[in-house]
Structures are given as C-alpha cells and as structure tokens.
Amino acid sequence: MKALLSVSDKTNLIEFASGLKEYNIELVASGGTARALKASGLPVTTVEELTHSPEILDGRVKTLHPLIHAGILARDNDSDRADLTKIGAQMIDLVVVNLYPFQKTVAQRYVTLADAIENIDIGGVALIRAAAKNYQRVAVVCDPCDYDLVMRDIAQHGFVSLQTREVLALKAFAHTAAYDAAIRDYLTGVQSAEAPVLTLTLQKVQELRYGENPHQRASLYSYTNACEGPLGGKMLQGKELSYNNLLDLDAAWKAAVQFDQPTIVIVKHLSPCGIASAAELPLAFKAAFACDTTSAFGGVIASNWEIDLPTIEAMGDLFVECIIAPGFTDTALARLAKRKNCRVVEMPDLKVEPDYEYRSITRGVLRQSIDKGDPAMASWRVATQVAPSEPQLRELQFAWKAAQHVKSNAIVFVKEVDGVIATVGIGGGQPNRVDCVRIAATRAGENAKGAVMASDAFFPFPDSMMEAVKYGIVAVVQPGGSVKDQDVIAAADGAGVPMIFTGARHFRH
C-alpha cells in the first residue's frame, strides 16, 4: 500500500504516519509534510522524488502531476494498470490531505486580499476530489479526527474498508464544498445580511437520542469540526447531552459570559430562573438559586468563572442536569464525580461564536447577528424628574443585562445585598407585559420591595409601571419609544420612581 500525505493541519500527523509505517505502508509526502515526517525519523519519499519534477511557483505547483493523479484515479482493472505501467506510475491507496487554512486566514482582523488569495488551495482540492471520486479503491482523509478510524480499519483488515471509504468520500466532498463556499463568501461579501445566496456548511458531531420530544429525531452539528465537544467545549463527565440540555446550556452560557464579576446563571427550559454576581462564586450561586428555588430543580448552571469546591458544596443536594464553566478545580471535579447524573462541560474560553444565529421557518431561514447588548450605554438617559442613586444605577445595569436573556415580554427584578447583586424575580414569555410583572413579583415575594426593574421593551401603557410600583419597585430601566412614553413617565414621577430610557430593545422570542 502507498499513502500520499500533504497536510496544512499537522495535528497528530506524526502519530498517524508512524502507525501507517508499522503496517508497511509506504509514505509519500509533499513540502512541509515531508519535512515534518523526516524530522521525526520516518522514511518518506518526497513528491519531487516520485515525479522527478521540482516544486515550482513558490510551491503553488507540486502535486499537480500525472504520476500523482494517475496513481489516485486508476481503477483496479487491467486497462488502468497497463496505463500506469506505460507512464511509470504506481497506485496510491490512501490520500491524506487537508487544505490551506483559508477560513482562518480571512477571519483575521487585518487580512489583505493578497493573503486571502494566496491561501486558496488548488492542488489539495484536486487531490481530495480525485481520491473521493475513486473511493471504490482509494481512501481519502481530510480531517485529523478520522485518523483513528482509518487505523482501526487497517489494524483489523489490513486495508481501509469500503464502508469507511464511502463515509470518508462523502466527508471529503462536503469539505471541498465548504471550502469553495468560504472562498465565494469572502470574495463576494456574502457575510452581509443582504447576501443573495447563503451557504451553510456544518459537520455532524453526534446523533442525539431524540429531539425536544422522544418522537422527534435530532443531531448536533458544528460550525468548526466534528472533533470538538458540545458548544466547542469538553465533556468531563456524564451521559450524552440531550437536545434540550444543549439548548439550555447555550442559553445559560451566553448569559453568564456577559457579566464581568464571578457570575452564576441557572436556566430551566430556556428561561433563566436566577442570575447573580458576587466577589465569591458560592455567594453568587446561593443568590441565583434563591431567586426561584422551585424552577432551579433539574436545571442547568453556567459560570463565567472557574468552579471550585465551595461552589459545589453550596449546591447541596440540588439535582442539576448540567454544569458549564471555563474551568473546574480538581477538588470540585472530585466532588462532582459523585453526582453520576450530572453532566459537566468545560469551555476553552469565554467567547460566543459565531456572531450570527439562524432560525428555521416554513420554507426558509431567518438570519440575524446575535444580541451582544447595547451598542453603547452612553445613550442611556434619565427620563424622570428624579435620577437613580449610584447603588440603584448599578442594580439597573445588572438588571438590564439579565433581561436580555429572558424570553419576551421580559421583566426582571434585581436587588443588591451585602455586595451580592442578583435577580430576585423573573417573568417572561407571556403575551402581555403586565402578566410578566406579576409573575416576577410573585417569584420575588417580599424581596420585590426595594428592588429595581428592567423591561426588555417599552411599556405601551402605564399599567406595567403602576403594577411594579404596587409591589415596591424603586427604579426602572426600559428602552422607551412608546407613543405613551409621557404617560409612563408621569406615572413614574407620580410614584417618585426614577426611570432610565436606554434607547435599545432586547426582544427574545
């Protein structure tokens, strides 16, 4: 057997090539791949040695040669073997190729057009397509994640099975299609919302047990690669995440990373039931949990801070479906290991990617940039005669961030006590805002007195404001912009409640 290797991404290359060599597979490699293999002491034939033709045009042409492509495209029949003999070519059985990092290049902030064009792979795409076309004989590997799959086949059969070759060929054509789409997107400016054509390319990470309900089928796909875990993180323990788990984790994570202080977000059925920030994470958990102790049961917990043992201890015996954070101390993980039914996900950073989101509708897809908060808080203005105090302003800022993650019509009550700032009542997802105020007030109970309130959208009438004042709300933040703004302001002034207009709305349907 003969393998051709030409990879830009050299992840696990040496281990894979060493495994191939153990099964007496001859290695042929181009450029930097050959140099990397030789540096590791592996015997390798360079493409130049095979073709007797040097790389030219600064490496733009190296594998585009009849001896290479004939060796890949030759079928297992006498006629093709005779043609190979005629030109002095040999069959190539395994093609290991991944492409110049065009997507990563154009994602850089100051990339030039020249840099982008130079990272358009030509020879690699031709090799992948040729090998995928001839999958009846040739195996093509374009993703380092598949190295183990190929090695298992070779160890078991002495070759790559047809079933595996079929899977790899489909993945290869998907890979080149995504690559071409990325080039087109960059060169035509398709990242704009007004693009006439939109191409989505995703890689399957796993089949899920079922969707939102057991009779629905579901799968998880990734924008980046199939090797990564859920949300780009790493599963540290627990059984497979469900469709609903993933939705809740995503909602909780997006809320948690928006805050600067150590923060805990508890989400149940896509709705936050508690958000709190404190100097110490266990205090944040206790305050977030206190917001709605009933709904927190069976929810997911997100933290923007490394989770330590005291935080896990603060959870007591609360049943938690999943916990997600940028890190966990060893002692925290040891304690979590005793919670057999709790899934634990570690995130590599605090990023939320990509910068846009999609929703399916009948015969179509909606696309929008994600809501990262207000363009600038400088647009905030005091609409009432009385301005909020500094402590109230701090609470209002927290409440405004929290409200962005609650289903509309979102109402959030917030209070700061002894340096811990937290939601004390949350209402959302109702057809009218007054009902959401009542729900938030019911959850808050006595804690509503002296709390501040945030509303994700304007008050169409003074009724929500008047209802909130009845429960003891002392300051309000809302977008403003209603034709009844003056009536709402008058109601606030009449109650002596300061109110801020942000000028930005945060619907979440």
Q: Which residues are catalytic?
A: 133, 269
Please give the C-alpha separations between residue 31 and each of 8, 59, 107, 313, 405, in angstroms, as whole numbers.
Answer: 10, 8, 25, 55, 50
What is the torsion angle, in degrees rounded to the nearest 10, for the CA atoms of residue 152, residue 154, residue 159 and residue 161?
A: 0
Cis preceding linkage at 409, omega within 30: yes
CA distance 200 to 169: 19
Separation of alpha carbons 500 and 493, rounded Å:
12
Closest CA to 251 of 117, 145, 120, 404: 404
| Cis peptide upstream of residue 354 (ω within 30 degrees of 0) | yes
**Beta-bridge partners for 268:** 271
DSSP assignment string, 47-89: HHHHHT---BTTTTBSS-SHHHHHHHH--SSHHHHHHHHHHT-
Measured CA distances, 297 to 105, 266, 274, 317, 403 (Å): 45, 10, 12, 10, 21
How buried is 297 (Cβ within 10 angstroms: 0-12 exposed, 13-18 middle, 19+ buried)? Answer: middle
Helix (H) or strand (E) holding 286: helix 281-291
Nearest to 267 by CA among 245, 290, 300, 297: 300
* Residue for token pair 């896509």: 270
Q: Which of 429, 427, 464 has the alpha carbon at shortest distance from 292?
A: 427
Task: For residue 463, report the phi and psi dihedrals to the nearest 5 degrees.
Answer: -60, -40
In contact, 476 and 488? CB cutoff 8 Å: no
